[in-house]
Amino acid sequence: MKKILPPLLMLLFGVHTVLHAQSVEPDLVQINEERISMNKNGMLTLGSWAIGNIAIGGIAMTQTSGNVKYFHQMNAAWNTVNLAIAGFGYYGLRNQSTGLSLSETIHEYHNFEKILLFNAGLDIGYMAIGAYLWERGIRTDSSRLRGYGQSMILQGGFLFTFDVILYILSRSQSSSLIDSLDNLQFSGNGLSLTIPF
């Protein structure tokens, strides 16, 4: 029995090590499928918002007057750009590969998150410009400036919320990927895998 016990323990240790090492390795195809799916859903959300604003704005601007007319006019015009962005974005995601390497996957997440943060900054700028136009419209008694300003605040607010939520979702996915790499250690001579028990 004493002769069998050490090889049996080594075998069990080896099986545990192999099983644990396999669970540490992230499934990059699935991770990239989830990333692409999240981005597609984001483009569908943006496109739906744009279509709704174009339809409502297009009808309402013909049936209203004053700053309300200009509010709807700007909503419709603004969202033609949003619809184009959503369409091109969705189309670009259709053919995106899920067979990316680990570094390519992390790079995709990183670039997308940088774009979302940059866009969130622009969105704050849109709202600030909208507030300026609204205030200037009040001072100069301009219905157009008031309506355009109100629309820019609404559109900037939606886009800011959209970009921040998409950033949080993307960051959550990329963080779990990066967390799975905590057991890898890089040195000047090679790569080692630490297996906790």
Q: What gap in Å lies between CA 70 and CA 148, rounded to an integer?
A: 6
Task: Please tell me the predicted confidence (pLDDT) of residue 25.
Answer: 60
Tokens 């499934």 found at: 27
pLDDT of residue 95: 87
Dig out the tokens for 87 from the structure.
């369409």
Question: Which pLDDT tens digits describe the chain residue by residue (197 residues)?
Answer: 556 655 555 555 555 544 444 445 678 899 999 999 999 999 999 999 999 999 999 999 999 999 999 999 999 999 999 999 999 999 999 988 999 998 899 999 999 999 999 999 999 999 999 999 999 999 999 999 999 999 999 999 999 999 999 999 999 999 888 877 766 665 666 555 555 55
Q: Write down the residue that tokens 């205030």 correspond to.
A: 135
The pair phi, psi for residue 185, each rounded to 5°, is -125, 130
3-state secondary structure of 147: helix
Q: Are 171 and 106 in contact (CB under 8 A)?
A: no
CA 83 to CA 71: how far, in whole Å?
A: 18
**Which helix H or strand E contains 193, and what residues bound it?**
strand 191-193
**From the CB of residue 195, how many other CB atoms can be counted at a distance below 10 Å?**
11
| CA distances from residue 34 to 31, 83, 92, 95, 165 in whole angstroms, order as listed | 5, 23, 16, 14, 16
